[in-house]
Structure 1
Amino acid sequence: MVEAIKWHGDHLELLDQRVLPFETSFVQCRTAQETADAIRNMVVRGAPAIGVTASYGLVLALQNDASPQAFHAACEVLAASRPTAINLFDAIDNTKEGLGNPAGWQNPAAEAERIAVAYHQDDLAKNKAIGRHGAQFLAGQRRVLTHCNTGSLATSGWGTALGIIRQLNEEQRLTQVYANETRPFLQGARLTVWECQQDKLPVTLVTDGMGGHLMNADMVDCVIVGADRIAANGDTANKIGTSMLAMAAHFHGIPFVVAAPTTTIATKTLTGKDIPIEERPHDEVSHVRKNPITAPNTAVFNPAFDVTPAALISAIVTEDGIFHPPFKFN
């Protein structure tokens, strides 16, 4: 199992996911700004991993300047790095609440470090629980289609959707994983396939447009995806391309399962229409590894996420158990 986030007491080391699987290199962060840059530039990605990384970013902020003013400035810098991932805001709020009123601070950097380490460990435990609950929901042998990357690279380890897939494999019930390439950043082709190969899982790479064909040809039993934000009604924001998989699965009567920790559920976000959708640089679409693939000056639209309506979701699996429609999280 790959360890993508490493805390060294005075700096954070992140596996650079932009260059996988062809190169293994690490980025070191020693300030909150460097941590925010790593999140924004997708050195690290995946909502749970972003939350853990932000927690350590706040430790670095306090190690450099323990004043309340500097701390709150660091919170704002980190919050602006990836606006759709609700775990980012959960991690910031968790540290704020743990530190309490600045008037009572004694050694805020040490306390923030304790909070961040606990947050990191808690996410891993949640991943394992999600895997168990999800495997229980999906009875029998399974051929799974998944989208983006939801494994140890996107979390503290093990994974959410990929954690369920790993659990199915441990129970000897996994027969095939189909991994969408996940344009434009290719998290499926570069990261999910690589993780599956590391664990010797039976994986086949497919293009993003093949999901409907796989279902129509009876090659898939279920679709399992992660989430970056889940609204109070169950509407789910995940990597762009997720919603069309849900539509195809719904048409074919195939279970469409969302796997995420409860920290991804934003009960103050009433519906998917209230979820901010990040738009990323146009060259991510018009270029592949800095090589142009379309005519110069082509207009590009590049939202990083889409919203899958709750009506298309068969179950939302969390560490607390399985939620069924109509979704109520309180």
Structure 2
Amino acid sequence: MATRGQTENGCRLINVEGVTLENTRERPWYCGIVVVSNKIFVIDGFNRQVRIHGLQDGRLLYELDGLYPTLMAVCLINDSEIAVILENGRIQIMSTHDTPVIRWSRDLRVRGGLDEYHGVVSFKGDLVVCGVKENTMCWCILSSNDGRVVGNIHQICKVKSYTSSWSSSSITAKHNMIYIACRVNSPDNTGVYAYDVQDPRKYKYIYKHIYKHEDLDRPTGIAVDRHGSLFVCNSFYRYDPYRCIHHLTSECRLVSIITQGIPRDPRAIFCDDGHLYVTSWESNHITIYGTQYPGKIAFMNCGGRSKTNIN
């Protein structure tokens, strides 16, 4: 049986360290993070900025501001490009190799998509977005060439009209699987939804799994590692017990609920080859974990000055 903070095979969290991002606002809203080429790319939704920091020391390398409307999410397309999606569906493609001078390399306008956009992920050469259309949480596949919707818009769950502004969703993908974490102010519909997309061009997909839990009432970010394990940030600003990460299998079965060392009000999460990066709405710190298998998770050093051991 999975327990809070401990996996079935005895995983522990140790060596808590973090990196502080330089020259950022006192209360940023980091709603997206990507780490590539020893650089941290974070998007500040409310302040409408993309910031690039050094991975080792958090030093600010470059920033882009004046973006409108609200920035919602970011994803890694490949080692040389990232995609940033705005609330109105505009997608900006950025090169990751041009620092210290960063420029947008492409600009996609989504055609025939959703009313409101929350998340984006690269998937088999195209992009998958999630958000709200006609009071329903949905997802669809976009052509990475022109922003055209490929196939149908797929419904996930209903969103009450008077709560749609408080709904949120985030998305990740691995192999044939697409995973979407939804919060719709309803315990019946809030959870993680998994879809098996066998052939995107033929629009064939299978609704595979759903994960719901009484302690998962406000999912704010989702990531998948190279083994297919899922990590879902959960944040509820009034009560510290809701500051946690749900660790799931690729079939959306609970492995553990991690509570130790989780930053206050966790938001975005990103996973690369052996590391997890978690942002907080409360500070400029990025918490970094190292992942080891079977099931071992440990905090890793990323230039931070303070350390706490959790045994």
TM-score, normalisation: structure 2: 0.29
Bigger proportion of residues as strand: 2
Higher relative contact order structure (alpha carbons within 8 Å, sequence separation ≥ 6): 2
Q: Pick the structure with greater CA Rg.
A: 1
